[in-house]
Amino acid sequence: MKPGDIISYLEMCTQERVNLQRGMNFHLRGRNSVILMSLRPNSPYSDRVEEDGRILIYEGHDVSKTVDTPIPKIIDQPIKNPGGTLTQNGLFFKAAKEYLEKKREPEFVIVYEKLRAGIWVYNGIFKLIDAWQENTNNRKVFKFKLILSEESIRDKQKQQRKTDLEHNRMIPPEVKLAVWKRDKGRCVKCGSTNNLHFDHIIPFSKGGSSLVADNIQILCARHNISKRDEIG
Are 156 and 223 within one domain?
A: no
In 51-95, DSSP assigns E strands to 55-59
Sign of CA dihedral 213, 218, 224, 230: negative
Are 214 and 161 within one domain?
A: no
Whether pLDDT at 230 is above 70: no
Task: For 19-68, write each residue's pLDDT tens digit.
Answer: 998 999 999 988 889 999 998 888 889 999 988 788 999 999 999 888 88
Whole-model pTM: value is 0.82
Are 216 and 142 within one domain?
A: no
Are 188 and 132 within one domain?
A: no
Are 137 and 187 within one domain?
A: no
Q: Which domain does 219 fall in, by range?
A: 171-232
Here the CATH number for the domain that contains residue 117 is: 2.30.280.10
Domain boundary among 139, 167, 195: 167
Q: Calculate ∠ Cα 44-49-52, nearest 5°.
A: 155
Task: For 80-90, write each residue's pLDDT tens digit.
Answer: 999 999 999 99
Residue from 229, 224, 227 nearest 198 by CA: 224
Read off φ and ψ for residue 191, nearest 5 degrees.
85, 5
Are 79 and 128 within one domain?
A: yes
Are 125 and 211 within one domain?
A: no
pLDDT of the residue at 72? 92
* Band of pLDDT at residue 197, cut at 50, 70 and 90: very high
pLDDT of the residue at 224? 86
* Band of pLDDT at residue 166, cut at 50, 70 and 90: very low
Are 62 and 32 within one domain?
A: yes
C-alpha 131/C-alpha 143 separation (Å) is: 6
C-alpha 130/C-alpha 147 separation (Å) is: 10
| Mean predicted confidence (pLDDT) in 94-98 | 98
- The secondary structure element, H or E, covering residue 10 is helix 9-16
Whether pLDDT at 204 is above 90: no
Are 178 and 161 within one domain?
A: no
Whether pLDDT at 160 is above 70: no
Q: Tally the domains of the chain.
A: 2
Whether pLDDT at 155 is above 90: no
Are 63 and 85 within one domain?
A: yes
Are 163 and 176 within one domain?
A: no
